[in-house]
Structure 1
Amino acid sequence: MTNQILNRCLALDDELYATQIIDNYLAQIPGFVLVKATTDVYEGIRLVNEGLIDLVFLDIQMPELNGLQFLKICGNNCKVILTTAYPEYALDGFNLDAVDYLLKPIEFERFQHSLTKFLALKSSTTPSSAPAKDHIFLKGDSKNTFHRVAFEDILYIEGLNNYISVYTTKHRIVTYMALKDILEMLPAAQFCRVHRSYIISLTHIHLIDGRQVYISQKSISISEGYKTGFYQLINGQ
């Protein structure tokens, strides 16, 4: 009989009974083992960073450190399936590469589907060959509408108080987000903030004239506070 490779799981939730549901579901599915069920997010971080966990079932509303913060810290060391009663965090979860987003109460069939997605993702990539992310999802004007935007299509982004306006090669998207937050989601080698109100794509620059950058038909000023970082980036320093 061939030994089956077990996928090591962590259930992390601020309510212990919720982790017990995950435990019960996993016990019914071959190939998965629950290493730990805990309400302690810092214990979860330790287990992941020690290389003991392959898949985390993660609640978002956690005390001290929420699930999205956990994803930013540990997302490169494990896969994560979000388990939450709050649908409004789905976009953030997928932008941080969560495998799936399970809404409570979680049905067993939906749980099985998430594990199938995890296994498919695991079989298609390895730690040394995982494909680089090439897009981001942005919320649209209407409820439950999301735009998939390829990084290569973004020309520049303009900050508008609590909103941003993303100009692409195809269209313009206005969405509720801070400029600094979208900058964290963009590849640092490709995008640069050049002004309090602007992020630009280095790929689409066709002219730099002193303190002015020209992208498509737009002229954008490079402000004093950002000029050093900009010139270091374009000069490869």
Structure 2
Amino acid sequence: MLLKCIAIDDEPLALELIQTYIGRRPDVQLIHTFEDAISGAEYLSTAQIDLIFLDINMPDISGIDLAKSLKNKPMLIFTTAHKQFAFDGFELEALDYLLKPIDYDRFSRALDKAIEVKKYKMSTPPEQDDAFIYVHSAYQMIKIIFNEVEYIESMEDYIKIHLKTNKTVLTLMTLKKMLGLLPEEQFKRIHRSYIVSVAAVKSVQHKKVCLNEVMLPIGESYAEQVKQWTKSA
């Protein structure tokens, strides 16, 4: 499988470095480079690519504005010398965020993630025991295996995914959107702030769901639904 990409950066030396780095990877093809965002945007209006290496601080259009304008957005890896743009990259679900001067090993790891995500998108649905999704967290794509999830907690614009290993993953997403990505028979919403893995539920008592070491409240509007699926379980 070949990962097709382009690079947009107003610094010729930065483009040369990206070209050199990609030249070391037989599984990645650099289709084109652009020294201004407008030319890059025109190319992207008709071309089909997998990944963009996109500088943020450019004179005509910023990389952030260009990314926001794309209708069919490829994977994005932002390249910049300015740390203050990191949150913008996170909101746009960038695959990664590389600070200049870019180290080859760090660059190569970003490409590895892009290839893994492309394989995931192209693959047939996995068996239930291995089913998973990817979420953006801390400027990375994190693989979330459904069978490893205990419960999911809403935190305003974010959700916190609590894993059975006691680790957590924070990602910018609503609980409603997350529920739509999960297998319905495996996950149930019990409260406006919580989704639980049915397999992780030990008991239901006193309007609370008991997990291994956590007790979560059942919302009034979800009480009947919880009653129904616990009966049929």
What TM-score does the superposition give when structure 1 sets the normalisation length?
Answer: 0.52
* Kept in 2: contact 1:135–1:151 (CA 8 A): no
Q: Does 1:188 align with 2:182?
A: yes
Which of 50, 55, 58 is matched with 2:51 structurally? 55
Deviation, structure 1 residue 57: 0.8
Which structure 2 residues correspond to residues 1-237 of structure 1 after superposition, within 5 A?
8-12=4-8, 16-18=9-11, 20-28=12-20, 29=23, 32-37=29-34, 38-40=36-38, 43=42, 46-47=45-46, 52-59=48-55, 62-64=63-65, 66=67, 74=73, 78-84=74-80, 85-86=82-83, 89=86, 98=95, 101-107=97-103, 109-110=104-105, 113=108, 117=112, 121=116, 127-128=122-123, 133=132, 151-159=146-154, 167-171=162-166, 173=168, 180=174, 184=178, 187-189=181-183, 190-207=186-203, 213-216=209-212, 218-224=215-221
Distance 1:168 1:26, change over 3 A: closer
Partner amino acid, structure 1, of 2:17 = Y
CA distance in 2, matches of 1:125, 1:167: 22
Deviation, structure 1 residue 153: 3.0
CA distance in 2, matches of 1:111, 1:178: 24
* Kept in 1: contact 2:53–2:76 (CA 8 A): yes
* Kept in 1: contact 2:19–2:30 (CA 8 A): yes
Gaps of at least 5 residues in structure 2 are 57-61
* Kept in 1: contact 2:154–2:174 (CA 8 A): no
Partner amino acid, structure 2, of 1:86 = K
CA distance in 1, matches of 2:120, 2:157: 37
* Kept in 2: contact 1:213–1:219 (CA 8 A): yes
* Kept in 2: contact 1:164–1:176 (CA 8 A): yes
Q: Determine helix, strand or coil for the equivalent of 1:106.
A: coil
CA distance in 2, matches of 1:73, 1:163: 24
Residue by residue, what CA displacement relative to the aligned partner does 1:31-84 show, whole Å, maximum 9, x if unpaired?
Answer: 63333525258657634xx5x2133213467344657x97x963xxx5543323
* Kept in 2: contact 1:35–1:53 (CA 8 A): no
What TM-score does the superposition give when structure 2 sets the normalisation length?
Answer: 0.52
Deviation, structure 1 residue 185: 9.4
CA distance in 2, matches of 1:25, 1:188: 40
* Kept in 1: contact 2:135–2:171 (CA 8 A): no
Partner amino acid, structure 1, of 2:218 = S
Q: Determine helix, strand or coil for the equivalent of 1:17.
A: coil
Q: Determine helix, strand or coil for the equivalent of 1:155.
A: strand
* Kept in 2: contact 1:156–1:200 (CA 8 A): yes
Distance 1:177 1:126, change over 3 A: closer
CA distance in 2, matches of 1:86, 1:214: 42
Identity of aligned pairs, percent? 22
Deviation, structure 1 residue 125: 7.1
CA distance in 1, matches of 2:171, 2:67: 19
Gaps of at least 5 residues in structure 1 are 140-146
Give the RMSD, CA atoms, in angstroms: 5.5
Distance 1:203 1:186, change over 3 A: farther
Number of residue pairs the alignment of both structures matches: 205
CA distance in 1, matches of 2:134, 2:180: 9
* Kept in 2: contact 1:81–1:114 (CA 8 A): no
